[in-house]
Structure formats: structure tokens, C-alpha cells
């Protein structure tokens, strides 16, 4: 599945266009390598997503074409969540 679609379906990012923009700016890494919006993700991949002053690292557990909001969190689990200080 494409990276931008996975991020939208899993609800890690609410809109696919935002996921595409973030990936194209190099703010998403797949297994420590900068990913593009068209990069293919698979089970077990580790995603590092930089949201401004926060970095979220998750591992992909399931891949679904569509899912209900309540089940979206079952598609991944959080490995770490780091906050950067605003003056660094």
C-alpha cells in the first residue's frame, strides 16, 4: 500500500493530501530512510513521522484498504513519542 494512503486509512494523518505534502518534504521515514508519498509500506515497517515539535515512531501491524475509525488504531502500535524543545 502507498505510504500516503496508509497514513490516511490508519488516521495517523487525517487527509491524504497532507500526508503527501509531509512525505514530499522529507518528514516521514520508513525504516530510517526518507519515504516518498508513493513509497510502498508493508507489515513490520517502522514509520517515523515528524509533526512540528513531535516525532512519532510506529510499527505497522495490519494493512487494510478501508477501516472504521474505531479499528484504525489496530493497524499500528506506537514504539516511541518524542517532543522537541522549541528553542533548540
User: The domain that contains 66 carries what CATH number?
Assistant: 3.10.290.10
- Name which of 61, 59, 87, 56 is nearest 75 in CA terms: 61
The answer, yes or no, to whether residue 8 has pLDDT greater than 80, is yes
- What residues make up the domain containing 51? 3-83
pLDDT the model gives residue 57: 96
Q: With contact defined as beta carbons under 8 Å apart, do 20 and 9 qualify?
A: no
Q: How many domains does the chain have?
A: 1
pLDDT the model gives residue 84: 79
> Is 88 inside a domain boundary?
no
> Is 59 inside a domain boundary?
yes
Tell me the CA distances in angstroms from 52 to 28, 45, 85, one per residue in order: 12, 22, 10
pLDDT the model gives residue 86: 58
> Is 39 inside a domain boundary?
yes
> Is 28 inside a domain boundary?
yes
Give the pTM. Answer: 0.89
> Is 64 inside a domain boundary?
yes
Amino acid at each position: 500500500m502507498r505510504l500516503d494512503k496508509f497514513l490516511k486509512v490508519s488516521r495517523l494523518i487525517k487527509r491524504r493530501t497532507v500526508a503527501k505534502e509531509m512525505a514530499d518534504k522529507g518528514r516521514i521515514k520508513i525504516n530510517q530512510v526518507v519515504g516518498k508519498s508513493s513509497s510502498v509500506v508493508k507489515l513490520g515497517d517502522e514509520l517515523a513521522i515528524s509533526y512540528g515539535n513531535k516525532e512519532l515512531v510506529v510499527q505497522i501491524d495490519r494493512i487494510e484498504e478501508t477501516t472504521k475509525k474505531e479499528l484504525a488504531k489496530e493497524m499500528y502500535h506506537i514504539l516511541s513519542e518524542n517532543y522537541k524543545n522549541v528553542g533548540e
